[in-house]
């Protein structure tokens, strides 16, 4: 018996009846021989961790654009926090931790430079949603267009990680909620660090229910999800905590995400991404070879291929490209 088979047997004995078992996966689009050590979801987790799009997350905005302070979150640290929350919850509920981790590490791979401003910019000029894009990254952009050939369950969790999505596994539902818990926690922490908010600005009734610090609130929410979802077919919080979380999220939208102090540079980012899009649609010869090949060899619209390229850029790379095309260079001799 291989190590992988032993691990699969352990899953069968140990995991909750509602967990997704590696052995019962609906499989990959292209069949492959199994690994002798790792069950399928563990293998997918490793593929995501090793892909190039994952490494670029370190230079992509979470909320604050190109922050100079060392302690603000980036898309990478956000992803790691989502993964940590998801693993804590999945482990406590005896769900498949490897599946939850794989989905969490992959969920934001399709995020544009400059966070939701970049997403808005691409959606203004074409059609763009970061969760659909995350799936494109793992399906047909990574590995020079060959994709990572992930399992159905990981792909489903990535595609359905947003509020409106309905993941088909409980592990997917855990990640969808863990994403919210993570950003409510760390975006508030960063907003306080950045002087956008103080702890006292948070409505007292929400602090009474959830706690009096960012850390205490995360702790309350994670405990509440676990105790209310034990041996259940759903991942959910108690009505009181759920309501308070939604209120807090609304408060964050009004006071952080749409705060002109934090978002002052966003219009410029939207303009810049829009300009880059127009440029590449007119000058497809300026695209890297992989994307030029995709224009020739696939039936995707030109605009889609340009979106794929721009969405993959880091904040600083997008600025660099904008400079290259639109800012006159100094004479150097």
Q: Kindly tell me which of 179 and 190 has the beta carbon lying closer to Mg ion.
A: 179
How far, in Å, CA of 66 to CA of 316, rounded? 8
Binding mask 222-261 for Mg ion (x = CB under 5 A): ----------------------------------------
Are the C-beta atoms of residues 52 and 313 closer than 8 Å to each other? Answer: no
Q: Least separation, in Å, of the C-beta of 107 and Mg ion? A: 6
Q: Least separation, in Å, of the C-beta of 108 and Mg ion? A: 4
Site for Mg ion contains 108 (CB under 5 A): yes
Q: Kindly tell me which of 11 and 119 has the beta carbon lying closer to Mg ion.
A: 119
Q: Least separation, in Å, of the C-beta of 32 and Mg ion? A: 28
Question: Which span sits near Mg ion by CB under 5 A: 100-108, 134-142, 214-222, 245-253?
Answer: 100-108
CA within 13 Å, CB half, 19: 25
User: Is 151 exposed, middle or buried, given 0-12, 13-18 or 19+ CB atoms closer than 10 A?
Assistant: buried
Q: Least separation, in Å, of the C-beta of 179 and Mg ion? A: 4
Site for Mg ion contains 44 (CB under 5 A): no
How is residue 137 annotated by DSSP? I
**Closest among 225, 244, 243 to 234, alpha carbons compared:** 225
Site for Mg ion contains 153 (CB under 5 A): no
Residues of span 190-229 touching Mg ion by CB under 5 A: none
Site size toward Mg ion, by CB under 5 A = 2
Q: Kindly tell me which of 4 and 176 has the beta carbon lying closer to Mg ion.
A: 176
Q: Least separation, in Å, of the C-beta of 19 and Mg ion? A: 23
Distances (CA, A) of 316 to 35, 228, 319, 320, 322: 38, 43, 5, 6, 10
Site for Mg ion contains 81 (CB under 5 A): no
Backbone angles phi, psi at 190, to 5 degrees: -70, -35
How far, in Å, CA of 246 to CA of 203, rounded? 13
Site for Mg ion contains 179 (CB under 5 A): yes
């Amino acid at each position: 018996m291989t190590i992988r088979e032993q691990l699969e047997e352990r899953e069968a004995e140990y995991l909750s009846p509602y967990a997704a078992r590696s052995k019962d996966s609906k499989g990959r689009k292209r069949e492959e021989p199994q690994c002798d050590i790792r069950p399928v979801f563990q293998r997918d987790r490793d593929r995501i961790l090793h892909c190039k799009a994952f490494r670029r997350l370190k230079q992509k905005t979470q909320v604050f654009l190109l922050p100079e302070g060392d302690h603000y979150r980036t898309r990478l640290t956000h992803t790691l926090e989502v993964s940590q929350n998801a693993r804590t919850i999945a482990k406590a509920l005896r769900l498949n931790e490897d599946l939850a981790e794989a989905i969490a590490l992959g969920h934001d791979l399709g995020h544009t430079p400059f966070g939701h401003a970049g997403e808005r910019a691409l959606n203004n000029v074409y059609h763009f949603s970061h969760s659909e894009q995350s799936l494109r990254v793992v399906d047909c952009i990574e590995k020079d267009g060959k994709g990572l050939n992930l399992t159905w369950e990981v792909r489903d969790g990535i595609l359905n990680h947003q509020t409106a999505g309905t993941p088909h596994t409980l592990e997917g539902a855990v990640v969808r909620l863990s994403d919210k818990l993570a950003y409510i926690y760390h975006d508030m922490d960063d907003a306080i660090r950045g002087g956008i908010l103080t702890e006292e600005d948070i409505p007292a009734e929400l602090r009474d229910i959830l706690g009096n610090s960012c850390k205490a609130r995360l702790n309350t929410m994670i405990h509440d999800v676990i105790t209310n979802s034990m041996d259940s077919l759903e991942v959910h919080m108690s009505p009181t905590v759920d309501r308070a979380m939604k209120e807090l999220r609304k408060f964050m939208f009004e006071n952080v995400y749409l705060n002109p102090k934090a978002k002052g540079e966003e219009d410029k980012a939207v303009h810049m991404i829009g300009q880059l899009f127009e440029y590449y649609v007119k000058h497809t010869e300026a695209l890297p070879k992989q994307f030029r090949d995709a224009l020739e060899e696939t039936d995707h619209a030109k605009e889609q291929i340009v979106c794929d390229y721009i969405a993959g850029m880091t904040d600083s790379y997008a600025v660099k490209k904008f400079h290259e095309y639109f800012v006159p260079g100094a004479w150097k001799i």
